[in-house]
């Protein structure tokens, strides 16, 4: 696939298969196309004036850019966690229940179960179970990001996109998110954009190296970090990239 912003080609001939129930990391220098590609996977670039995609993005064999595709349903199947925590200015409970309500779940008992299950899945239930009606914005940054993960998984997506989810967090909160990501792959296909190569090495199963809007190299993370086949990948990983 290719991505254009008006006349500027941001992504060129991207070809990659994302493995199911695994963590795939996108690495590369700033402005290389990692986040642009991530946003293509749930059509967030539809909100960008002048953006257009050429080619196919297949989810379970179906092109998500096919004519008539229901984008709301797509974004339920492909959830997203952003770089900075962005909880809604409402209660913790309402944040997590938002998605299920949007998709037609109305029963209070069922919603309570979804909220608890999602908060447990995001490893934050024990910290918030006694204050579900308090404002989400009262939580710490790391807790807010785990709440956003709970909100994303509450609708049971197939794929979870994460755009530098720890870049605004301290080392302790970052470690909690990394531990959480390693567990999430048991239920979801996880794709994470990161500038932190050590983080990619710690938590991902597969890695793709982006440069100038292209994928230079992709493969098992251990292989990419120890035996890269492209000199540009090796230069980036070893810090010699200029």
Express each pLDDT in 52-111 by its tens digit.
999 999 999 999 999 999 999 999 999 999 999 999 999 999 999 999 999 899 999 999
Give the whole-angstrom CA distance, residue 219 versus residue 146. Answer: 28
Q: Is residue 121 in a domain?
A: yes
Range of the domain at 144: 2-237
pLDDT of residue 242: 57
Coil/strand/helix, residue 235: helix
Domain harbouring 108, CATH code: 3.40.50.300
Express each pLDDT in 180-218 by its tens digit.
999 999 999 999 999 999 999 999 999 999 999 999 999
pLDDT of residue 240: 77
Q: Is residue 242 in a domain?
A: no
Q: Is residue 82 in a domain?
A: yes
Q: Is residue 96 in a domain?
A: yes
pLDDT for 145 beyond 60: yes
pLDDT of residue 239: 85
DSSP codes of every residue in 138-201: GS-HHHHHHHHHHHHHTT--SEEEEESTTTTS-HHHHHHHHHHHHHHTTTSEEEEE-S-HHHHH
Q: Is residue 124 in a domain?
A: yes
Q: Give the pLDDT band of residue 168 (cuts 50, 70, 90).
A: confident
Structural domains in the chain (count): 1
């Amino acid at each position: 696939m290719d991505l254009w912003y008006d006349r500027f080609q941001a992504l060129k001939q991207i070809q990659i298969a994302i493995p199911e129930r695994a963590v795939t990391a996108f690495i590369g220098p700033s402005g290389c196309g990692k986040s642009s590609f991530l946003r293509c996977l749930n059509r967030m670039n539809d909100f960008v004036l002048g953006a257009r995609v050429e080619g196919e993005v297949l989810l379970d064999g179906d092109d998500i850019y096919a004519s008539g595709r229901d984008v709301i349903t797509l974004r339920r199947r492909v959830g997203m966690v952003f770089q900075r925590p962005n909880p809604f200015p409402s209660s913790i409970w309402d944040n997590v229940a938002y998605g299920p309500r949007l998709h037609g779940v109305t029963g209070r008992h069922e919603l309570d179960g979804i909220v608890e299950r999602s908060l447990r899945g995001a490893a934050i239930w024990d910290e918030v179970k006694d204050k579900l009606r308090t404002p989400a914005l009262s939580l710490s940054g790391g807790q807010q990001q785990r709440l956003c993960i709970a909100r994303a998984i509450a609708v049971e997506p197939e794929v979870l996109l994460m755009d530098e989810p720890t870049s605004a967090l301290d080392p302790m909160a970052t470690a909690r998110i990394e531990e959480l990501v390693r567990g999430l792959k048991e239920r979801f296909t996880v794709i994470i954009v990161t500038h932190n190569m050590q983080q990619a090495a710690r938590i991902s199963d597969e890695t793709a190296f982006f440069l100038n809007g292209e994928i230079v190299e992709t493969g098992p993370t251990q292989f990419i970090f120890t035996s890269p086949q492209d000199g540009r990948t090796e230069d980036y990983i070893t810090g010699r990239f200029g």
